Structure 1
Amino acid sequence: MISSPGALLDPRHEVVPFHGRTAELAGLARWRDAAVLRSVLLLHGRSGVGKTRLARRFAGDDLVVVDDADLAPWHDVLALLRDGPTRVLLVARAAGWWWSATRQRAADLHYASEDLELGPCPEEHDRVFAIACERFADALDLPRPDVAPPRCDTFHDVHLAALAAVHGDRSDNAVEHVRRVVSVDPDPPTTGRLAEDALAVTLLDDRIAPAPDALDTLLRAAERWPHVRDRAVELFTADPGLVAKAGAGQLRVLKDHPEVVARQVFDDPRCHGDVLPALLTHALLRDAEDLRERAELNGLLSARAALAALREEAVRASREEVSLRRRLVDHDPVEHRPALADALGDLSLRLVAAKRAEEALFVAEEAVAWCRLVTADDRDGAAQLAAALDRLGLRYAAVGRKEDAATAVAESAELFDELARQHPASFRLDAAKTAHHLAARLFEVGRRAEAGHATRRAVLQWRAVAADDPRYEAEFAGTLRSVAALLAAFGRPTEAAAVVRESIGVLRRLAEVNPRDFEPVLASVLGDLGVLFRRLDRRSEAAQAFEDAVAVWRRVPRAADRLARAWHLLADSAVTNEVARAGARMALLLWQLTGCHDGVRYAETLSLYARRCAEVGTDLDHALAAAHRAVELLRSARAEPERLARAEHAVQEVVRAHPARTRDLPSSP
């Protein structure tokens, strides 16, 4: 039995029964049952309006609910979405930039998104007040009060007024309601709406200082109580180190006070990727008057917004920076041209992220034009021109202008090579990266001899960079893998295999020192090598590579799906039938353990297992069932015709190996 007054107000207990919200429940049901594969919905509204109760009423086994989602670290929400639930319901007091960032990240993971704002229902407050008075009085074994319902803003306020009335309060004042309830509660809550209001009422007395150990409650209360926000500003001004003790979500309430928290937030790695740095930068712009300062702040805002996945906001800030830089160039072209060229380059990147490829190309071309003017005045601008040309090559490639892309990157590579000869410590890395880009562009336009030369040059330059500075070994290994994929795609699998072997050597060294970060990459690249050997019809070497990949994946936590795939590849390449069958069976077991036993890859493993059983004449009853199940899954998934044809052929193979069953089977799967 609930006897604590504060606990009676907890929406999770539903002492006052849930009712109403018919339209909202219908809207949530339509969202839940929509035909889209995965979707996220934000249910938002002011504190106390009934979001938690509505979400709890609607929640079910097929729905993930995140309460106070605006306070959750962005990477935790992203990790949840990456796990792939079909429906995610986020509950928060407000939308804003954090929601813009979340829905963009959700879209990147192929989630649809929508939001539903929950408003107050003042027409129901009188009835709710009467019911709450009855329920609270009965729960506390106190007389039911006979009082008129006060005017309230939300359902929580109505419940609070009712609970205060049960304890003899006859006022029409929310502050007095809080004081009365807290005064009779032997165990007042330390979190939640009542705790926030109790703290806010306490801080009405200027003689009382807020306790630093109640930061979360203080900052949450500051959203609704202006005097609490003022007290929070005073507290953080006196002790800036408190920023490290509060979450980024809670600190957003201080976004209009960058002078208090900005320096600490900008240096705090916990806030990187959150919208808070962008919000604070936006506030700093409010008081900036100098033209150059405004341009620089807009550039910072664009970068911080982009880091937080606020792509449209990043584009707007970048456009404003370019506009301001143009005005500065009008005053002094020589001094401000380099900054304008950089701002245009940044705007091009922001437009790419916002999926505006044609516009990004136009801006990148203008950036190169300004860089040429800069270089004409000062040869030291060659590095800026080379970088702009490299980016322009990417923009040309994105819109299918392959010859133009090759021309731009070739000029960039020539400039960086010259700079690397003159200043190797400063530009050898840029030269190595651009040589890799040039190889890709040359392969795309059919200039294979030149592409091969650029590829070898990229590997040599990267090898030298990594040898001089081991910090670049991981990037070197990644580049080798990318080069190998390029060689394989353009018909050079033997060269690709040699490059992958070198990448594996680097990754083995890295994995010995840091297995958590590099063993998954090592296992993946071993799989790449196996695929290349299989393409070269070097089956025993392919099987060995896949066996090595299996051994590494076994050591990687939470990698059952990738281990299953590695077992599948090993089974598909094994030289002996028994090893192949055992590998396929292990892959099946792992797919089932992961819960992924209704997809295309599982179907392909079923088909492979069936074929392997047919080859050795073992377990043919199970093999036949597996082969038919594979066909059913692939048909349901509307898989490519080639995949379906292979699965149907596997059925025929098992039937031929099991003649006693043919008379009981249909002639065609």
Structure 2
Amino acid sequence: MFGSTRNTITRSGKQQPGKMVIVDLSPGELLDPRYEVVPFRGRAAELRELDRWVDGGGSSVLLLHGPAGVGKTRLARRLAAGAPVRVVDDADLLPWRELHDLLREPDTHVLLLARTAGWWWSAARQRAADLGRTGAELALGPCPEQHAASFADACDRFADALDLPRPTAPAAPDPAAPDPAAPDPAVATYHDLHLSALAVVHGVRDPDRADLVRWLVSVDPAATDRGRLAEDVLAVALLDERIEPECTPETLEALLRAADRWPHVPRRAERLFAARPDLARTATAATLRAVAGLPAAAAAVARDVFDDARFHGDPLPAVLTRALLRDRDRDRHDDRDRHRDNDPDRHPHRDRAGGAGKSELAELHGVLSARAALAALREEALEATSLEVGLYRELTAADPVEHRSALADALGDLGLKLVAVGRDAEAVTAAEEAVELCRLAAAEDVDYAPRLVGALDQLSLRYAAVGRRDEALAAVAEAAVRCRDLAGHQHALFGLDLAKVTHHHAARLFDAGRREEAARTARLAVARWRSVAAGDPRFEADLARALLSVAALLTSCGLPEEAVAAVEESVAVLRRLARANPRDFEPELAGALGELAAAHRDRPVEAAAAADEVVLVRRRLARGGDPDAVARLAAALVARVDVAADGGAGVLERRSVAEAAVVLLRPSAVRHPAAVTAARAKVVGLLLAAGREREARRLAEEVLVAAGDLPHHVLVAQGPEPARALRALADELPETDELAARLVERAAATWRDLLGRHRAAATAFPEAVHRAAVLRRAQDHPGAADHARWAVLAWQLTGAPDELAAEARYADALLFRVRLCVEGNTDLDRALLLAHRAVEVLRAAGAPAEVCRGATAAVDDVLRAHADPEVARARPRASSW
């Protein structure tokens, strides 16, 4: 039946427009989808779906997945022939770091091919979203309706290629004999179909799949070296129980890749890994993901996987934990059923063993949640934590004293997982319940008081995230009082917690508009951090970070000199730490120096020295080419542009620095789109200063489009620099320039997206809307009145009444809207109330007398324009603000 001659062909079926490619292919190579010996057919619906994906624009990644041999590669090649798509085959075999680096590359579209989806893809999709890429997937299944035509094509093509007769049906066919020109109905994929066709061309009509693989090896021994064929050859060899596979990483991977097609392979693989768990130390992540589906093998390799540094951040530990958890849950249910069968009168609620099993199951869900979160599996981590909370609820209902604290801890973790997926309101509810449980536990056990402090602190953060400032302050104030009592009795044990809570208390006081108290509390927090670091040098880095945070708060409180002193102290601490450990602390030193340069904005010499040192440190850190380090170097150069301007540097010098930043950022545009946008905006401003207006305007239009395309999560992650850069660029243009208004409107939209995520947004957003109103008014734009109205509303929505009571910028927005109402003779009753309010705010703010007189004049302007000035003058000055 089996021949031994290695045939070759002189023509492949892969055609290009206007020519035929001439190569030599072996029988095994005829099956390789890259050569397309058998013409592509069908898949019209899938091609339309892929075309829509390509035409969708943006930066996208799509997973095309389906069983081995189903036609993924051929379909991807057909798409890539006419579209700018980066195709990555066998993407599920890539180590997660390589896959992550691939997603960072500035390709517009990335098409991943894989046999399975699962958690490796979910982790990749969620990491892609963090990088500004949208993610989608398309499942590819068999097309049995195409099999007959494809089989006939394959027989003809292979026969012609091998110079063999085309198979034909017998003149008088035996009804019991198979038709050699028809496909095996049991064949599931194109690969198996074409292998059958290749065998038929050689006169082999044995339908047994294993015999077909043996035949192929006999005519083409090199087939064992290639992809799926190598996997099938290995699987067929292992049908002989006397044969053991080699234990190289490549062979193990091939073995597990064949497991879904050959029923005996999972049993052989499970037996191998259960007997030799040490194989996990060299096996690939893809291999071990498949092993996770084999209960005995998964249990054997678990410890080695969890301890292996290769898999830190990889989805594999989470996949393996989920598999172990499912097995444990299955065993628990089996045991419960056996107990119930043996003792039908036994009530499950009295089953102590069952309760213990449920507690252990809850703990495993917590472990799964933690491991999933480390692999960027945020949605899966949330699901695991939700199940953990559900189990602890059941346990707490049966025994509150025993399980209440565990439920509180699980609820705290649930809050963090909800925040990670943007469900802040639900996180507040979870944190509130955790605090109530901790109160009950602390009332019964004084040793539980520290956990109540932690729960209150977390609740404060949750309240702050959704803008509930008063409640946030109340929660952290209670935490501070309780923590102070704890530290008073055991300072060595609770001094660190007291420093942290005091720091958070200062931030919440500032958010509530109580700036003097915030400044005093911030100073107290620094003193407590110094005490902690003096007692234990391990916390010196935390002291340095706290100093930077406090410096930002002090600056906002109007205490720039104290802020500079705090930043200088932080820099001094980090210099000392960086000398001892450059790898860990030089990046933080660079960040602190950048803050120092900004703090010295009124002292150009000191600012330039700090900015120059930032660039030097960032250059050292970027030598290895790490994209993050390069982006930070570019950001340092952009910051240096501003410092150079303050120091009187020329336009050409500053533009050279800015353009160098843009060049550095170009390769990492997908990963750092916000930084690229900010840097390019700087270049536009410098081109304008150099008189290159046409070039500047063309680049400005590109910057506006790029800024509008920035996803919300990118803005949250990468900060407000694009908004600041756009606003600064607008300020360099005349007020009558329409481009200036568009730049400010885009900056306002960006600040709006950052509300609740960045402290500066609460004032920067309404300021930008007001500025847009002013610019549109200067351009006689009909939208100026709407902008002015929205500016007032923005101030009222983002600022507490006591904060606005003395906010001069709010008064400016009020007076500008009053002016437009008077000019348009509209809404004058409301304008009169706003004008009175502006006068009150300016007086409370201590504005100069001439400014207050101008506001009073605005009241008179409204009265003169009013249809009935006497009635308007008598109207009470009351309104809800």
Regarding TM over 0.5, the answer is yes
Sequence identity percentage: 53
With over 3 angstroms needed to count, the CA separation of the structure-2 counterparts of 1:606 and 1:348, relative to structure 1, is closer
2:290 aligned to which of 243, 250, 253: 253
2:620 aligns with: 555
The residue correspondences of 1:32-431 to structure 2 (distance < 5 A) are 32-35=54-57, 37-59=58-80, 62-146=84-168, 147-148=180-181, 149-151=183-185, 152-213=187-248, 214-256=251-293, 257=295, 258-282=298-322, 283=326, 284-288=328-332, 290-431=357-498
Partner SS for 1:70? helix
Q: How far off its partner does 1:143 sit?
A: 4.5
The 8 Å contact of residues 433 and 458 in structure 1, kept in 2 or not, is answered as: yes
Partner SS for 1:187? helix
Q: How many residues align?
A: 642
1:462 aligns with: 529
The 8 Å contact of residues 413 and 431 in structure 1, kept in 2 or not, is answered as: yes
The answer to whether structure 1 residue 4 and structure 2 residue 26 are counterparts is yes
1:601 aligns with: 678
The 8 Å contact of residues 572 and 608 in structure 1, kept in 2 or not, is answered as: no
Q: Could you state the TM-score of these two structures normalised by the residue count of structure 1?
A: 0.88
Deviations 1:215-246 (A, max 9, x none): 11111112332311111111111111111212
With over 3 angstroms needed to count, the CA separation of the structure-2 counterparts of 1:185 and 1:479, relative to structure 1, is farther
With over 3 angstroms needed to count, the CA separation of the structure-2 counterparts of 1:139 and 1:479, relative to structure 1, is farther
Structure 1 CA distance for aligned equivalents of residues 430 and 119 of structure 2? 26
Structure 1 CA distance for aligned equivalents of residues 557 and 103 of structure 2? 36
The 8 Å contact of residues 357 and 399 in structure 1, kept in 2 or not, is answered as: yes
2:4 aligns with: none
Structure 2 CA distance for aligned equivalents of residues 220 and 502 of structure 1? 57
The answer to whether structure 1 residue 17 and structure 2 residue 51 are counterparts is no
1:449 aligns with: 516
The 8 Å contact of residues 363 and 388 in structure 2, kept in 1 or not, is answered as: yes
Partner SS for 2:62? strand
Deviations 1:149-180 (A, max 9, x none): 32311011112222333444211122111111
Q: Could you state the TM-score of these two structures normalised by the residue count of structure 2?
A: 0.68
Q: How far off its partner does 1:642 sit?
A: 4.0
Deviates more, 1:519-528 or 1:393-402: 519-528
Deviations 1:497-550 (A, max 9, x none): 22222222233334334444443433333222222221xx22222222211122
Structure 1 CA distance for aligned equivalents of residues 105 and 503 of structure 2? 34
Structure 1 CA distance for aligned equivalents of residues 473 and 374 of structure 2? 30
1:31 aligns with: 53
Deviations 1:107-149 (A, max 9, x none): 3333322211111111222222232233334444444444323
Partner SS for 1:360? helix
The answer to whether structure 1 residue 568 and structure 2 residue 568 are counterparts is no
With over 3 angstroms needed to count, the CA separation of the structure-2 counterparts of 1:163 and 1:457, relative to structure 1, is farther
With over 3 angstroms needed to count, the CA separation of the structure-2 counterparts of 1:15 and 1:516, relative to structure 1, is farther
The 8 Å contact of residues 189 and 195 in structure 1, kept in 2 or not, is answered as: yes
With over 3 angstroms needed to count, the CA separation of the structure-2 counterparts of 1:651 and 1:82, relative to structure 1, is farther
The answer to whether structure 1 residue 588 and structure 2 residue 659 are counterparts is yes
Deviations 1:312-346 (A, max 9, x none): 33333323322322332344332222212212222
Deviates more, 1:510-519 or 1:125-134: 510-519
Deviations 1:183-216 (A, max 9, x none): 2223234351111111111111111112211111
The 8 Å contact of residues 627 and 650 in structure 1, kept in 2 or not, is answered as: no
The 8 Å contact of residues 389 and 409 in structure 1, kept in 2 or not, is answered as: yes
Structure 2 CA distance for aligned equivalents of residues 475 and 224 of structure 1? 54
The 8 Å contact of residues 315 and 351 in structure 1, kept in 2 or not, is answered as: yes
Deviations 1:407-440 (A, max 9, x none): 1112222333333344444333322222221111
With over 3 angstroms needed to count, the CA separation of the structure-2 counterparts of 1:96 and 1:563, relative to structure 1, is closer
The 8 Å contact of residues 386 and 416 in structure 1, kept in 2 or not, is answered as: yes
Structure 2 CA distance for aligned equivalents of residues 634 and 309 of structure 1? 30
Deviates more, 1:114-123 or 1:188-197: 188-197
Structure 2 CA distance for aligned equivalents of residues 593 and 311 of structure 1? 32
Partner SS for 2:135? strand
Deviations 1:70-100 (A, max 9, x none): 2323333333333453322221112223333
Deviates more, 1:355-364 or 1:24-33: 355-364
Larger Rg: 2
The 8 Å contact of residues 568 and 584 in structure 1, kept in 2 or not, is answered as: no
With over 3 angstroms needed to count, the CA separation of the structure-2 counterparts of 1:64 and 1:302, relative to structure 1, is same
Partner SS for 2:621? coil
With over 3 angstroms needed to count, the CA separation of the structure-2 counterparts of 1:193 and 1:396, relative to structure 1, is same
Whichever residue aligns with residue 220 of structure 1, its letter is R
Deviations 1:15-65 (A, max 9, x none): 323233222111111111114x22221111111101112112212673222
Structure 2 CA distance for aligned equivalents of residues 346 and 638 of structure 1? 35
The 8 Å contact of residues 4 and 186 in structure 1, kept in 2 or not, is answered as: no
Structure 2 CA distance for aligned equivalents of residues 225 and 475 of structure 1? 56
Partner SS for 2:600? helix
The answer to whether structure 1 residue 540 and structure 2 residue 580 are counterparts is no
Whichever residue aligns with residue 282 of structure 2, its letter is K
5+ residue gaps in structure 2?
Answer: 1-22, 169-179, 334-356, 709-722, 738-778, 780-881
5+ residue gaps in structure 1?
Answer: 614-619, 653-667
With over 3 angstroms needed to count, the CA separation of the structure-2 counterparts of 1:57 and 1:569, relative to structure 1, is same
The 8 Å contact of residues 682 and 729 in structure 2, kept in 1 or not, is answered as: no
